[in-house]
A and B are shown apart, each in its own frame.
Chain A
Amino acid sequence: MGARAMQGERAGDATAEDRAALPIELRAVSKSCAGIKVGNTVSFDMRPGEVHALMGENGAGKSTLIKIMAGLHQPDEGQILINGEPVRFSSPRDAHAAGIATVHQELLLFPELTVAENIYLGQTPKTPLGAIDWPAMRRGARALLQSLDSGDLDIDQKVTTLSVGNRQRIEIARALAQDARVLIMDEPTAALAEHDVQRLMSIVRTLCQRGVAIVYVSHRMPEIFALADRVTVLRDGQHVATRPVCDVDEPTLVSMMVGRSIDRLYPAKQGQDGETVLELRNVSQRSVVRDISFSLRRGEILGLAGLVGSGRTETALTIFGITPATAGDILINGRPVKIGSPEAARDLGIAYVPEDRGHQGLIRAQSIAENIALANLKRLTRGVIVDMTRVMAEAKQAIARFGIRARGPDQLVRQLSGGNQQKVVLGKWLATNPRILIMDEPTRGIDVGAKAEIHLLMRKLAGEGMAILMISSELPEVLGMSDRVLVMNGGRIVGEFDKVEASAEAVGTVMTRSYSKDDAA
């Protein structure tokens, strides 16, 4: 412990008196999640009234760090200090009490209660008799919203009917009602429309003037440069650097985040691209997928880059028939097709390896064999009976082909590691003999070794003539694997790069730019 206290000196630029005024400081904290170390001796501090941007790719350790500050995780090592005093948060309540509030990505509100109640729930004002003082609560809620420049919100409205932007303002008001001194905002603009983003930024500035310190997690460069005073970059659970924003520019930040830009070897392209197998012409799905057009050829790996919420997954779901297209045409081998359901997509030779393995990809309580058979039941049935011998044979074949490390086809999927689970999903879909393979975050939450195996496999499949559409939030993966990169932003395709042009800086810049509705076309 003593050695670690010494390390605290490293933060350097603040004197001991300054430090006593810091609303929160983390000293060399680390935390292991399921055996993988995330947040490795990270030091982080907040000054009153500053906006401190926290950046890094998915899996860099941002959320772990946030959860430690919010009291959801306890650090394995290191210290948390509030006003210079070491503390321990054993629950979110302790963090609240210390003046730390969080605006969550998935907003934690009560849909059937009113705006005023949502702001005050858990700390309602009381009359002397101990009853809830509704007039005081409504007055307080109105005043809070007014101070956030949101006096137009109806405090008696049920939250169900409100837009995401409005709900977020309610969460912020709730944090203020708790007298928060540190406000953690986790990708607050990911799901916001453009005018809501502007509004949020002005709210953030108002909060700073009141002395609230804001941890601002975002991928979007313009917001970072417009708002933040300092920026901390994490990569692979390591603290890369903390700098004043005026000392860095966009390319520097991108390369700090990506770091080893192409330091890992990605398998090289095999063979030539063939004819076009999938073409989208002006496809839209309500307002989340807008006017998408692209084509995908045999043997090609097409990368789809973009931030969370940019419409990448939604595009994949539209092609796969989960949310059928509301406008435009989809052509397969040049023929227009109508894809109204996943079974229709599957019968057209489309396979989709979804982003959420546990929820969408696998039935974790069932065996490897049962999972692999699920998309192939028609083919594996003799008469009316499922041919168990063939189910087992296929499962064994998939285990051998993809190197799934399991005791056998009967092992339950939930007992496998992430990488092996992903191989089961792949096995299930490749058994359908698809011509088009959509892979959504193919290596999320998978260790490095399994990652490389899956990359090699993707290359091999493409070499055998498979057309692959890959969605990934990891820039190096997109750049390393793709023959061509499309960038999405706000539901539209906003950029296309071939292998040579696609650099981290170029793609990253287009990805993180804020587009107004007009110039996104």
Chain B
Amino acid sequence: MTALSAHPGRSALHRFIGGYGQEIVVLLSIVALFVVVGIINPRFLSDTNINSIFAGNAYIAIAAIGMSMVIIAGHIDVSVGALIGVIATIAGTLAVNGYPVWVAWVVPILFAMAVNAGVGALVAYTRIPSIVVTLGMLSILKGGLISITAGEWISDLPTEFMIAQMRPFGIPSAVYFMVLLTAVAALFMRYTDFGRSIYAVGGNMEAARAAGINPERTVVGVFILHGLFAGIAGILFATQLQVIQSTVPPNLELTVITASVIGGVSILGGTGTVIGSTLAAILFACIGSALIFLNVSAYWLRAVLGLLILATVLADMARRRRVT
């Protein structure tokens, strides 16, 4: 106690390190990974590889922003992977059927927000645990997608639809989206009442109510925002390849949740930042790519992911136990 109170006005740097500990750890891990793998295999640092790491995984980072908000509010969503698959398919179908490009972009995003508004309302007002609602939603979206499309690929997509493949100033547009959305979300979470109320609801729902926040409305709002980010992620996912596979990308929800958790979002709610989840999504992409360049089978990627989540969760629990 006394050690802490000895410096009441901590320096800005100290404050920064204290507030962003996990984010700094993840960032340093990325740097270390680049250095080590780059020394072993310099091709890892080639333009093509770095581009593919960032551009190819930007959609995961963007989905993880919304997921982080959901987890900070004390909930979880395991249906996001299926939702992204559905969005990609809707977008592709609209695009090949001659609808204007902006319709093909915007309608799926609105659809995602509507679906998540429903999920959020169920979670907030009926008090059914979010894991159950989203498990159900996962199977509805997944089953619906496969049974309607019969797994047929969508090809011959119009070029102007392929937003993820555009490269303003030589940098893939997906990277712009990732950076921009992370920055906007970070500012939103820090500088708006709604952003702070997400933390408050996840941290102590009854205290939030006593402070004049409506926890139910906050939860519905968070899920709608999550739908917005998942929608944008879905559009980027749809447009990064020449075809859309009309399936649910395997384990996408897990990758997204893991990015949030490793980025410092406590699974018990109330704490974390969206910058951390974006960094963690990049870290995964780097690990996946590094495994290939180190000649380790990519099949171990998921085991590494699982271990990382477990280690992070255990560390989080240990930290909480130490504090209380």
The residues of A with any CB-CB pair to B shorter than 8 Å are 92-93, 96, 108-113, 117, 121-122, 124, 130-132, 134, 142, 151-157, 160-161, 163, 166
Please tell me if the beta carbons of B207 and A151 are within 8 angstroms of each other in the complex: no
Please tell me if the beta carbons of A142 and B9 are within 8 angstroms of each other in the complex: yes
Contacting residue for A122 out of B206, B213, B271, CB 8 A: B213
Contacting residue for A111 out of B203, B210, B211, CB 8 A: B203
Name B189-227 residues within 8 Å CB distance of A: 190-193, 196, 199-200, 203-204, 206-208, 210-213
A/B interface sample: 8 pairs, CB < 8 A: A110-B199, A117-B196, A131-B191, A132-B193, A134-B191, A151-B8, A153-B8, A154-B8
Q: How far is the CB of B194 from chain A (nearest CB, A)?
A: 10
Q: Which chain A residue has the least Cβ–Cβ distance from B320?
A: A160
Q: Which chain B residue has the least Cβ–Cβ distance from A131?
A: B191
Please tell me if the beta carbons of B190 and A132 are within 8 angstroms of each other in the complex: yes
B193 contacts which chain A residues (CB < 8 A)?
A: 124, 132
B18 interface residue per 8 A CB criterion? yes
Please tell me if the beta carbons of B19 and A160 are within 8 angstroms of each other in the complex: no
Please tell me if the beta carbons of B323 and A161 are within 8 angstroms of each other in the complex: yes
B190 contacts which chain A residues (CB < 8 A)?
A: 132, 134
14 more contacts with CB within 8 A, not counting A124-B193, A151-B8, A160-B323, are A93-B212, A108-B210, A110-B270, A111-B203, A111-B204, A111-B270, A112-B203, A112-B270, A121-B211, A122-B212, A130-B192, A132-B191, A142-B8, A154-B5
Q: Which chain A residue has the least Cβ–Cβ distance from B207?
A: A108
Please tell me if the beta carbons of A124 and B7 are within 8 angstroms of each other in the complex: no
A122 contacts which chain B residues (CB < 8 A)?
A: 211-213
A108 contacts which chain B residues (CB < 8 A)?
A: 204, 206-207, 210-211
Q: Is the interface of B mostly helix, strand, loop or mixed?
A: helix
Please tell me if the beta carbons of A110 and B192 are within 8 angstroms of each other in the complex: no
A96 contacts which chain B residues (CB < 8 A)?
A: 212
The contact size tier of chain B is: 20 to 34
B7 contacts which chain A residues (CB < 8 A)?
A: 154
B200 contacts which chain A residues (CB < 8 A)?
A: 110, 113, 121
B204 contacts which chain A residues (CB < 8 A)?
A: 108-111
| A-B contact number at CB 8 A | 77
B10 interface residue per 8 A CB criterion? yes
**Interchain CA distance A111-B193 in the complex, whole Å:** 18
**Interchain CA distance A153-B7 in the complex, whole Å:** 9
Contact A112/B196 with A151-B8, A154-B10, A156-B10 known, Cβ cut-off 8 Å: no
**Interchain CA distance A456-B109 in the complex, whole Å:** 70
Please tell me if the beta carbons of B196 and A132 are within 8 angstroms of each other in the complex: yes
Please tell me if the beta carbons of B203 and A113 are within 8 angstroms of each other in the complex: yes
Q: How far is the CB of A4 from chain B (nearest CB, A)?
A: 31
Name B306-323 residues within 8 Å CB distance of A: 320, 323
**Interchain CA distance A160-B18 in the complex, whole Å:** 14
Contact A156/B203 with A131-B191, A131-B192, A163-B1 known, Cβ cut-off 8 Å: no
B303 interface residue per 8 A CB criterion? no
B324 interface residue per 8 A CB criterion? yes
Enumerate the 3 nearest inter-chain pairs by beta-carbon distance, A residue then B residue, closest first. Answer: A112-B271, A122-B211, A131-B191
A110 contacts which chain B residues (CB < 8 A)?
A: 199-200, 203-204, 207-208, 270
B323 contacts which chain A residues (CB < 8 A)?
A: 160-161
Q: Which chain B residue has the least Cβ–Cβ distance from A174?
A: B211
Q: Which chain B residue has the least Cβ–Cβ distance from A163?
A: B1
Please tell me if the beta carbons of A160 and B199 are within 8 angstroms of each other in the complex: no
A93 contacts which chain B residues (CB < 8 A)?
A: 212
**Interchain CA distance A163-B323 in the complex, whole Å:** 10
B116 interface residue per 8 A CB criterion? no
B43 interface residue per 8 A CB criterion? no
Q: Which chain B residue has the least Cβ–Cβ distance from A146?
A: B8
Please tell me if the beta carbons of A157 and B270 are within 8 angstroms of each other in the complex: no
**Interchain CA distance A131-B213 in the complex, whole Å:** 17
Please tell me if the beta carbons of A157 and B4 are within 8 angstroms of each other in the complex: yes
A92 contacts which chain B residues (CB < 8 A)?
A: 210
B266 interface residue per 8 A CB criterion? yes
A109 contacts which chain B residues (CB < 8 A)?
A: 204, 207
